Structure 1
C-alpha cells in the first residue's frame, strides 16, 4: 500500500498519538464541556460519534447531522481537530462539508466490502486521514482488504484501529483483543499507523489502562479513548467512558517504551536469549513431529480394526489433563487448551488420510 506515515499528516508530533472524546455527540452543551476539559488536559484531536451503528434496533443511534454544526463550533472555539465515523457516502458528504479532519470506518462497515467500496468511491480525490477499524470477526484479510480499497481510491493518510473482536466465550472483555491479529497486520505493513481502541476492547473503564499499556508495549502508534464529561449519564457506552480528569491520570501513568535499544550490552544479551529461544523452538518442533508420527500410527491402527476416527472419551481426557499439566508447569491453561484444540484438528486431518486408503 502507498501510504503516508503518521508523522507526516501535519498534526501528529508525540507518541502516543491520542484521540479522545465522547462515544456520541449528544447535545451542544455536553460536547462543549467535554471538549473544553479535554483541551485543558492537552488533547488536540477529539472523537465523537454522529451516526452510531448499533447491534439492535431501538438503541440510540446518534443525533445525526444536526450535530455537525455543533462540532464545527467547538473546532473553531478550541482549535481542535475532529474525528468521526462514516458508514455511507451520505455520511462522507456531510462530514466533509462541515470540515471533519479525520474519518473512520467502523467495525460493522469493515466487515462488508460493498460498504467499504462505496465509502472509498465517495472519498476519491479527497485528501483526508482515514482510519479503518478491524472487522468484528477475526479476519486479517478482510481488514487488509478494506484498507486496500481506500488506498486504491487515493487515500494515503491511512491508518488502522485495533478495537478487538467479537468472542462469545470472552467474559473479561467486550471484544477480545486477539493481539496476534493486529501484530500480523503490523508485520505485513510496518509503515501503516496502528492505533489501539482500549474503550471498545474493554467495555468497562477499569481495564482501559492495562490494555492501553499493552498496546504501547507492542509499539502501536496511538490510542483512541472515549471520554465524557459525565460518563454514567452517557447516552451510549456509558460503562467504558472516562472523565477528562480520569483520562489525564490514565495517560500520565502510561509508559512509552523505546522500539529498540542501541546499548551493545543489551543487544548482546538479547541476542543470546533469542538464540536460546531458537533452540527451544527446534526442540518443540522435534517433539511435535514425534507426536504426529504417533498420531499417524494410531490412525493406521484404527483403520485396521475398523474403529471410528474420533474417540470422544480420549479427547475429553486430553482436553482436561493438558491444562492441568500446564498449571503445574506455570503455563497459562487457556493458552494450552487452545493449543491442543489446534493440535487435535491437525491430528484428525492426519489420521483421516489413512482412513480413506
Structure 2
C-alpha cells in the first residue's frame, strides 16, 4: 500500500542539516537542562532524550519514566526547542502527550514486533503528532515498512524513518552495520518519506559519528539524530557514543551539504555503495576467520595437520567456477582465495603452537 503522508517541516538552515540532539537518557534534571541550554546556544532546533530506556539485559539504567517528562517540558518552555522521546507502549504515548512532547519515536526493538506496533498505532488514532520509526533490529525492509504502515493507518500522516543500522553477531567496525542499501531502497519505494540517520547507534563510538554524518548526507538523508551529553564520559547509558554539544557543533560545522543537482552526485552515491560493500566484505572475512580459528582448535585437539591439501584444492576449484559464473576471471578468484587461505593457515598456526 502507499503511505498517506503530509509534508513534515524539518527545522534547519542553509549551512547545516536538520539535527535532533540530546542525551541518550534523561538522567537528572540538572543534566537535561544543562545539555539543553548548551545545545540551544549552538542553534539546535530539537532536543531528544530517552525517558523510557529498553535495555538488552536487565540491570542497566532503564530510564526515569514519568519523573523525567516535566524536565522535557521545561526544556521546551525555556529554550523554545521542540522535544522528542521514545515510546514503546500505549501508556508511554499517553504520558508523553500529557506533558507536551512534540515528536515521538519508535525504537528498533519495538518496530520489530508487529503486536507492539499495532498497540502503539491503536493508541495514536485521532492524534496529530509526528512519529519517527527506527528500522527493526534485523535487516528486514518489509518489517520496517509494515511498522510505518501500521502507524499511518491509524491516521498519523507526519511520519519519518530513522536509520540506526542492524545488529549482527560478530565483531565489526560499527556497533550496528549500516547496510545503506536498505534505507536507499526504502527511499526508492517511498520517496516522499523523510529518512533521518542515527550515526550514534550505527557507530557506537564517538569518533565514528562525524564520518557517518557526512556519509548519510552524501547519500541524501534528510537529517540526523545524534546523542549529545554535557558530560558523556559519565553518562548512565551508551557513554561511548555520545559527544558534548561543543563537539557536535564542531562536527556540524565541518559537514558538507551537497546540492542535489551537483554533477558528481551519481558517482558519489556509487562510491558510497562501494564503501558499504567493502565494510560488508570485511565483516564476512572476520566471520570466516573466526570459523577458521575454531577449525584450528579442533585440529589441535585431534592432532591433525593444518594443511589439508584435498580440501584446499576443492575450495580453489569451486570458487574458481563460481567466479567465472559471476563474471570474474578464474585467475583473480584463485588469487583472492589463496590469500585468504594463507591468512587462515597463519591464524591456525598460532592456535596450534600456543
- Common fold by TM > 0.5: yes
CA contact (8 A) 1:105 1:130 kept: yes
* 1:73 Cα deviation after fit: 1.2
| Alpha-carbon distance in structure 1 between the residues aligned to 2:333 and 2:216 | 27
* Conserved 8 A contact 1:104-1:130: yes
> SS of the residue aligned with 1:228?
coil
| 2:45 matches 1:57 | no
Q: Output the CA distance in 2 between the equivalents of 1:35 and 1:41.
A: 10
Q: What aligned pairs does 1:237-252 form with structure 2 within 5 A after superposition?
A: 237-252=238-253
CA drift at 1:59: 1.0
Q: 1:231·1:238 contact (CA, 8 Å) conserved in 2?
A: yes
- The Cα offsets for residues 70-89 of structure 1, whole Å up to 9 and x where unpaired, read as 11112111111000000000
Structure 2 match to 1:2: 4
Deviation at 1:98, TM superposition (A): 0.2
Question: 2 CA distance for matches of 1:270 and 1:126?
Answer: 40
- Which stretch has the larger CA shift, 161-170 or 44-53? 161-170
C-alpha distance after superposition, 1:25-57 (max 9, x if no partner): 000000010000000000010000000001001
Distance in 1, matches of 2:163 and 2:266, equals: 29
**Number of the residue aligned with 2:178:** 177
Residue correspondences, number: 285
Q: Is the 8 A contact 2:12 2:45 kept in 1?
A: no
- Map 1:170-319 → 2, pairs under 5 A: 170-261=171-262, 266=263, 316-317=315-316
Q: Relative to 1, partners in 2 of residues 1:270 and 1:55: Cα closer, same or farther, differing over 3 Å?
A: closer
Cα distance, 1:258 vs. partner? 1.0
Distance 1:24 1:319, change over 3 A: farther
Report if aligned partners of 2:75, 2:83 keep a CA contact under 8 Å in 1.
Answer: no
Native 8 Å contact 2:25 2:237 kept in 1: yes
SS in 2 for 1:223: strand
Q: Do the aligned residues in 2 keep the contact of 1:5 with 1:193 (CA within 8 Å)?
A: no
CA contact (8 A) 2:200 2:242 kept: yes
- Displacement, 1:197? 0.1
Question: What is the match of residue 286 of structure 2?
Answer: none
Superposed counterparts of 1:105-184, under 5 Å: 105-184=106-185
1:170–1:176 Cα contact (<8 Å) kept: no
- The alpha carbon displacement at 1:168 in A equals 1.4
Question: Structure 1 residues 39, 270: CA separation in 2 closer, same or farther (over 3 Å shift)?
Answer: closer
How many angstroms does 1:13 deviate by? 5.8
Change (3 A) 1:247 1:319: farther
Q: Match for residue 46 of structure 1?
A: 47
Q: What is the CA-CA distance between 1:327 and the residue it aligns to? A: 12
Give how far 1:138 is off. Answer: 0.2
* Cα offset, 1:318, TM superposition: 6.3
Structure 2 CA distance for aligned equivalents of residues 88 and 47 of structure 1: 18
Where does structure 1 differ by over 6 angstroms across 4 or more consecutive aligned residues?
318-324, 326-329
Normalised to the residue count of structure 1, the TM-score between the two structures is 0.75
With over 3 angstroms needed to count, the CA separation of the structure-2 counterparts of 1:110 and 1:325, relative to structure 1, is: same
Change over 3 Å in CA distance of 1:270–1:239 after alignment to 2? closer
Secondary structure of the residue aligned to 2:71 is: helix
Change (3 A) 1:191 1:315: farther
**Conserved 8 A contact 1:75-1:82:** yes
Contact kept? 1:88, 1:115, Cα under 8 Å: yes
Other structure's SS at 1:6 match: coil
